[in-house]
Amino acid sequence: MSVLWAPWRMEYILSDKDKKGCIFCIGDDRTGYEERLILYAGPMSIVMMNRFPYNNGHLLVAPVRHTHDLGGLSSEESLDLILTVRKAVEILREEMSPEGLNVGLNLGKAAGAGVEDHIHFHVVPRWNGDTNFMTVAGEVRVIPEHIRETYKKLKPYFEKF
């Protein structure tokens, strides 16, 4: 029998699922970026890695200001957010060479939003054949690289941003 090791999942299994606070709200204390997997924090938008990704390099792009709907953003914030999404796509293409990308926004719980109160885009690099029987048969995702390694690869690109 083969063994599939995924020790980083234990953090999720043992985590407090009812934890208070918003993962996207960085506040005035802009420290601890690496621990929080924040790759970029500008005046209006942030980019962070999804701690429980669908695929390698799964990024989350959110406005700095806490809002639950696109209508809650100013025109300037909206422009900054979409330009940050565009930059995240460019960086993933350059560093990870995906064959495609999923870019999306889930508004509301019924649409699949895991964090309903703070809008955020998902930017997910994709490769032909990156889906397999594990997700269908075992409800398990196979991520071929540890999230901290991916963070180290992407961080220098976002430092230039």
Instruction: Spot the catalytic one: 58, 118, 120, 122.
Output: 120
Helix/strand/coil for 45 = strand
Give the other-Cβ count within 10 Å of 131's Cβ.
14
Task: For residue 53, give every residue at least 6 positions away whose Cβ sits within 8 Å of its Cβ, in sequence order, or none.
Answer: 124, 141, 143, 147
Active site residue 120: yes
Quick one: tokens of 57? 């390099």
Burial class (CB in 10 A: 0-12, 13-18, 19+), 81: buried
Give me the residues paired with residue 126 across strands.
Answer: 100
> Active-site positions?
120
